[in-house]
Amino acid sequence: MLLAIAFFAGWVPTALESISREPTPGWKRFKTPDVSLDLPTSYSGGETNGADLDEVVSTLRGIGDEDKSSLADAIQAGRTQFAFWAFDLDSLSSASFPTGVSISSTAMVLDSNVGLADVANLIAQASPQFDVKDSEPVQLGSFQGHRLKIATRSLGVDIEQAMYLVRKGNTVWKITFATPASEFETRLTTFDQSVQSLALN
């Protein structure tokens, strides 16, 4: 995910402002100038140029693991490409690959006849490192979105991603959760619940 996210996305109604305006009970809401997202309280991160993400990077480096340091380097190098990054702190030291979420956007003009299935095919064709296990429309509150389940490898670990595609105006957004493959099905419910809280400014 975090080292190899496809720079594509899909179409949904352009009136998207937020999917859920009420905070998710027992979770915390992360806000940046562009997006907000509710996540479990074990997550830390935020705006890519903010102090909260600096703390995550410092934690990764402090673990003393070469792979975690490589991930910290990738975060630093990719700050300008993402609007938001957060990680489950409980997974930073214990997991072979930390569970996290990134949000990025791309300005593009899509023809009205370009559907989400077409864009999903583009992702698969342009990213040979991705094994797309599932690609389907999903209802995000009152809005139509799209979710891909993707298997790949990062830092030498088999991981799986849930990539959600939405659009506001001419900006396409990707919300990508990633976790070790062995944990994906257990965590998918949390990923699905979190993305329901997405708000775009």
Residues 94-152: tens digit of each pLDDT = 767 889 999 988 776 777 777 667 777 787 788 889 999 999 999 876 567 899 999 99
Task: Please check the confidence at residue 12 and state whether its pLDDT lies above 70.
Answer: no
3-state secondary structure of 108: coil
Superfamily of domain 28-40+96-200: Mog1/PsbP, alpha/beta/alpha sandwich (3.40.1000.10)
Task: Please check the confidence at residue 17 and state whether its pLDDT lies above 60.
Answer: no
Mean pLDDT of 150-177: 89
Helix ranges (H only) for the chain are 51-62, 66-77, 89-92, 116-126, 184-195
What was the pLDDT predicted at 3? Answer: 37
Q: How far is CA 100 from the centre of its chain?
A: 7
Tell me the backbone φ, ψ of residue 144, rounded to 5 degrees: -90, 125
| Radius of gyration (C-alpha) of the chain in whole angstroms | 16
What was the pLDDT predicted at 9? Answer: 34
Output the CA angle 108-39-189, nearest 5 degrees: 90
Mean of the per-residue pLDDT values for the chain? 81
Percent of the chain with pLDDT over 90: 34
Contact 29, 43 (CB under 8 A): no
- The two tokens of residue 14 are 């352009």
Pairwise CA distance, residues 20 & 27, whole Å = 13
In sign, the C-alpha dihedral spanning 31, 103, 56, 161 is positive
Mean pLDDT of 76-87: 83
Pairwise CA distance, residues 38 & 187, whole Å = 15
Pairwise CA distance, residues 112 & 76, whole Å = 36
More confident residue, 93 or 42: 42
- The two tokens of residue 38 are 């509710």
In this structure, of 1-10, 48-57, 59-68, 145-154, the range with the lowest mean pLDDT score is 1-10
What was the pLDDT predicted at 158? Answer: 95
pLDDT digits (tens, 9 = 90+) for 137-148: 998 765 678 999
Q: Edge to edge, what strands does the sheet with 35-39 contain?
A: 28-31, 35-39, 199-200
